[in-house]
């Protein structure tokens, strides 16, 4: 493990200053244990602009020179997914700890190579999965672990995509989406956004998906409304993962025009997480129903931090915790991220073949039905 000197600030370098950069950096910028010391992007004007906003002194447009900077202990890689393979391996070979934006890669082969490179270099390599650190979901996962709803029987993770006029959405740079609409991306919305929800569907119940069936459509080039039926390792647990798209549906949101609803039903109760990205429902962000005969009561968590950006803040904190403690791992592990990518590709394959698919059988990549976006 690459050591970080005790009582010294962790030097963080940022690769890529696109649309998600401000959210991803907020937690680092507000944590006294680290200092963002350098920014790297091929667009030097954008890099300089972000560096000034964040109070960062060093700006690079060359990745090799950036990685040779000894003041950088860890890198936050925020570049397009098709660049993750090269950027992660270069960072590992430079001895930097690595946090990388989702999805892990555009193919299983690349994901495996990246994981092996980080392991060989003995550096932390994790995927920055903000939903793993979103407070309502974290509390829901702990409630399941504590047995508050008994043994999980069914899980549904639902996403609705619509329109919003949030300041965040309006301020997004269209150029940041170009690669998502050509052969540099193997899919559309499922690959780009539902990868978050794929991750949730296993992580929150601590169960692997071993088989799935799926039906999918393509709308407006990028969006992929679908329904997937999930079989888990525990034969008593079933799952539904789905996404709907309302192109004329407007919703309240401080971020993207999307929102999620997560329901976990146990044999003694159930959990609702009613708010994630957007602010669609006027309900408590988290509710737990204790259905035991002697209890039969709701617990509503009105005051829990349900700002979607909190997931990014806690994710940064978690990565810093791992480095500060000398841990060799941090969530989301590359193994979990690779498994999530396999499930994404399994959905595409199942929707194409109209048959059940074991995600573990996916060893390369599968293109979205109908071809590239």
Residues 33-52: pLDDT tens digits? 999 999 999 999 999 999 99
**CA 18/CA 75 separation, integer angstroms:** 15
Cα–Cα dist 161/23, whole Å: 20
Tell whether omega for the bond before 178 is within 30 degrees of 0, i.e. cis: no
Question: What are the residue ranges of CATH 3.30.360.10 in the chain?
Answer: 132-311+342-353
pLDDT, position 373: 77
Q: Which CATH fold topology does 132-311+342-353 show? A: Dihydrodipicolinate Reductase; domain 2 (3.30.360)
Reported as a single tens digit per residue, the pLDDT across 207-258 is 999 999 999 999 999 999 999 999 999 999 999 999 999 999 999 999 999 9
What's the fold here for domain 10-128?
Answer: Rossmann fold (3.40.50)
- Burial code (b: 16+ CB inside 10 Å, e: under 16) for 47-82 equals bbebbeebebebbbbebeebbebeebbbbbbbbbbb
Joined tokens for residue 19: 């649309």
Q: Determine the average pLDDT of the residues in 165-185.
A: 94
Render pLDDT for 140-159 as a digit per residue (tens, 0 to 9).
Answer: 999 999 999 999 999 999 99
pTM exceeds 0.95: yes
Q: Where in the chain is the domain with CATH 3.40.50.720?
A: 10-128
Per-residue pLDDT of 104-153, as tens digits, reads 999 999 999 999 999 999 999 999 999 999 999 999 999 999 999 999 99
Q: How far is CA 332 from CA 99, 180, 270, 319, in A?
A: 9, 23, 25, 10
- Dihedral angle over CA of 16, 19, 23, 29, nearest 10: 40
């Amino acid at each position: 493990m690459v050591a970080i000197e005790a009582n010294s600030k962790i030097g963080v370098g940022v690769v890529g200053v696109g649309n998600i950069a401000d959210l991803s950096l907020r937690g680092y910028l507000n944590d006294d244990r680290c200092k963002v010391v350098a920014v790297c992007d091929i667009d030097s004007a954008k890099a300089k602009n972000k560096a000034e906003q964040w109070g960062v002194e060093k700006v690079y447009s060359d990745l090799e020179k950036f990685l040779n900077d000894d003041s950088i202990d860890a890198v936050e890689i925020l570049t397009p997914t098709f660049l993750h393979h090269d950027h992660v391996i270069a960072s590992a070979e430079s001895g930097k700890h690595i946090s990388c934006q989702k999805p892990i890669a555009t193919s299983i082969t690349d994901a495996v190579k990246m994981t092996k490179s980080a392991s060989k270099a003995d550096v932390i390599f994790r995927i920055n999965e903000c939903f793993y650190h979103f407070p309502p979901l974290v509390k829901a996962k702990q409630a399941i672990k504590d047995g508050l709803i008994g043994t999980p029987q069914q899980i549904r993770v639902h996403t609705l995509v619509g329109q919003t006029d949030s300041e965040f959405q309006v301020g997004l740079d269209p150029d940041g989406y170009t690669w998502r609409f050509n052969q540099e991306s193997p899919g559309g919305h499922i690959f780009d956004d539902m990868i978050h929800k794929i991750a949730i569907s296993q992580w929150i119940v601590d169960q692997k998906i071993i088989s799935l069936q799926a039906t999918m459509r393509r709308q407006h080039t990028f969006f992929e409304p679908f329904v997937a039926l999930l079989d888990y390792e525990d034969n008593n647990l079933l799952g539904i993962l789905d996404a709907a798209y309302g192109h004329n549906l407007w919703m309240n949101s401080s971020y993207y025009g999307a929102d999620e609803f997560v329901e976990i039903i146990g044999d003694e109760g159930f959990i609702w997480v009613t708010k994630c990205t957007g602010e669609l429902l006027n309900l408590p962000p988290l509710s737990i129903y204790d259905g035991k005969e002697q209890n039969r009561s709701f617990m509503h968590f009105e005051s829990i931090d349900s700002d979607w950006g909190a997931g990014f803040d806690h994710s940064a904190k978690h990565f810093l915790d791992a480095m500060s403690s000398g841990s060799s791992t941090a969530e989301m592990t590359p193994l979990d991220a690779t498994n999530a990518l396999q499930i994404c590709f399994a959905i595409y394959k199942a929707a194409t073949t109209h048959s059940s698919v074991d995600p573990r059988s996916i060893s390369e990549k599968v293109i979205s039905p109908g071809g590239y976006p």
